[in-house]
A and B are shown apart, each in its own frame.
Chain A
């Protein structure tokens, strides 16, 4: 049954190639999976929109040429609500729609929930933002964003070596893999570089009151506070620290990107430094083009999720071209050889483990605006 279908479709494809040779582009379907509803909806929405900008750009420039065929890119999106339960069905939905490669999932847990299936299906899977180790364990899976430990290590080096801070307090979300993943690597690296973690305070998802943790830190001799967490947590923490009369400098992870949109008083986050691959306010031709296209289309400033997704789509393009094929097997083989000039890194390459190799950059908030640390 299945085989017959395959033969027929191959025959059809063959006749199409012969009859229309250079004409009418084929479609390469990118199956995007991420939350567009629920608590994590903003991440999924950013990824979806960032990818759409890249796809429009590529298609506008004539699509992707692989051998004799030109492919138009298309995005088939499925909402996984950032849930491990929904992700497998979301994956199957985009596969039913004929996805040629998978962009996702946006969140780590959901991503891990589909890895064994994508591996079995042998399909190329690139997660734009799934930062946990487990996301790219299999040979068919790659990642655009930093891994959690990578960020922690980079920030530890920066704080201890560049800034010369030796006594550091950490506040992290113990119920969140991203946050605790960074925290672990960070603390180990600080110790390795001769610094000292004077307080390591945990909180949990949906916590809004950090006074207990901050008070504990206040009674140590910490010189700075590192908060690997999302911007919403950072908002509460910086505000409550101010109310407690604390004036220690804050350092953060890339989850802080967006914090200016959630604080009621920008002065509470003035001077914070966080790792981020992307900064929308940079005067770079490529970034400006992306940001203005995004703003025009969606009336919002793109964040790093959008930028990661943008780069993800260009990575698919590069893999198709390098492989000279749209078969996942060939594209996967081509991945280590490609180099992408993207928003979050230039160049972006991929190591044997499937992680993107790109520089970690530091962003600070100056006069109420994001800017790269010089």
Chain B
């Protein structure tokens, strides 16, 4: 009985961290699905979101709701700017160049925030105050529930947006074939900009929830969750929205379980091994579909 409780509790821990991964992975998968590039800086936009919230709430003393909205706007604007300045000129370049640029952007964001806010961690209390819930002897933190609800809402919203709106259709078209989409009269640049705006807004939301959970600001806070969320997106099938959600949760549970029952030291190694194995066995991920390269 005690073992079952403990396993349930660990599952819950997995869900807690997994829902954050899922939220980040949604942004990753969206940008990758449409712009066809790994936005290495996605994790760092989360960091930007966390710091932005801190600036609005603690330094400018704005009301929380306004601060959250401003944070989301800030991240979207930064996302669009990055895309325009760094990625757009490389749209026809080789993938290697785009990847290196994305790494550069990630480094740039981290080091800018290091210069502005210094390396010393800044404590920042949560603005989301939800009491925890007791369920069958299990203590579920309020934030976990909020994160899960937000993630599911975002997933549903995104799916509807892509399948039901003009912009969503445009995104699908661009993801299939940029050239053809252009010929059909779709403004590819604008579509990709919107994609980045939405992806960055999701990162902002993830940043807000992340900082509410861990309450400490660090310039590198987004790096590791970013990479792990990428693993989650690949695991679920990159480009697939339900896949990202699913992959995030699974990854969180794998991580929690390996920490609890295998080895904390090897938990990261296990997470990354999962990635390698998935890419080897089913590169399209669990819910993704593979496209053959045109010769």
A and B touch in the complex (CB under 8 A): yes
A residues within 8 Å of B by Cβ? Answer: 37-39, 41-42, 174-175, 201-204, 206-209, 211-213, 215-216, 218-219, 232, 235-236, 239, 243-245, 261-265
A243 to B139, CA, bound (A): 8
B residues within 8 Å of A by Cβ? Answer: 2, 5-6, 9-10, 13, 16-17, 118-121, 123-126, 132, 139, 141, 214-216, 220-221, 224, 255-256, 259-260, 263-265, 268
A202 to B258, CA, bound (A): 12
Complex: chain A residue closest to B118, CB-CB: A41
Residues of chain A within 8 A (CB-CB) of B216 are 208, 232, 235-236, 262
Does B264 contact A215, Cβ atoms closer than 8 Å? no
Does A219 contact B264, Cβ atoms closer than 8 Å? no
A202 to B215, CA, bound (A): 22
Does A202 contact B264, Cβ atoms closer than 8 Å? yes
Does A174 contact B264, Cβ atoms closer than 8 Å? yes
Partner of A209, one of B17, B124, B268: B17
A218 to B9, CA, bound (A): 10
Partner of A213, one of B214, B215, B264: B264
Subset of 25 A-B contacts with CB under 8 Å: A39-B119, A41-B120, A42-B120, A174-B265, A175-B265, A203-B264, A204-B268, A206-B224, A209-B214, A211-B13, A211-B256, A212-B10, A212-B256, A212-B259, A213-B259, A215-B6, A216-B6, A216-B10, A216-B260, A219-B9, A235-B215, A244-B139, A245-B132, A262-B216, A265-B125
A202 to B259, CA, bound (A): 9
Contacts across chains A and B counted by CB atoms under 8 Å: 82
Residues of chain B within 8 A (CB-CB) of A204 are 264-265, 268
Expressed in whole angstroms, the minimum distance between the Cβ of A157 and any Cβ of chain B is 27
Does A235 contact B265, Cβ atoms closer than 8 Å? no
Residues of chain A within 8 A (CB-CB) of B9 are 215, 218-219
Does B13 contact A215, Cβ atoms closer than 8 Å? yes
Residues of chain A within 8 A (CB-CB) of B141 are 243
| Given A38-B119, A243-B141, A262-B123, A215 contacting B10 (CB threshold 8 A) | yes
Nearest 3 A-B pairs (CB), nearest first? A264-B125, A212-B259, A211-B13
Expressed in whole angstroms, the minimum distance between the Cβ of B109 and any Cβ of chain A is 17
Does B10 contact A202, Cβ atoms closer than 8 Å? no
Residues of chain A within 8 A (CB-CB) of B255 are 212
Residues of chain B within 8 A (CB-CB) of A215 are 6, 9-10, 13, 260
Residues of chain A within 8 A (CB-CB) of B256 are 211-212
Residues of chain B within 8 A (CB-CB) of A263 are 123
Does A239 contact B215, Cβ atoms closer than 8 Å? yes
Complex: chain A residue closest to B13, CB-CB: A211
A41 to B119, CA, bound (A): 7
Residues of chain A within 8 A (CB-CB) of B119 are 37-39, 41-42
Does B13 contact A212, Cβ atoms closer than 8 Å? yes
Complex: chain B residue closest to A216, CB-CB: B260
A339 to B124, CA, bound (A): 44
Does B265 contact A219, Cβ atoms closer than 8 Å? no
Residues of chain B within 8 A (CB-CB) of A239 are 215
Residues of chain A within 8 A (CB-CB) of B13 are 209, 211-212, 215
Complex: chain A residue closest to B141, CB-CB: A243
Does A232 contact B259, Cβ atoms closer than 8 Å? no
Expressed in whole angstroms, the minimum distance between the Cβ of A244 and any Cβ of chain B is 6
| Given A41-B119, A212-B13, A243-B132, A219 contacting B268 (CB threshold 8 A) | no
Partner of A261, one of B16, B123, B224: B123
A41 to B124, CA, bound (A): 20
A236 to B17, CA, bound (A): 14
A261 to B153, CA, bound (A): 36
Partner of B265, one of A202, A206, A216: A202
Residues of chain B within 8 A (CB-CB) of A218 are 9
Does B124 contact A264, Cβ atoms closer than 8 Å? yes
Residues of chain A within 8 A (CB-CB) of B126 are 264
Residues of chain B within 8 A (CB-CB) of A174 are 264-265
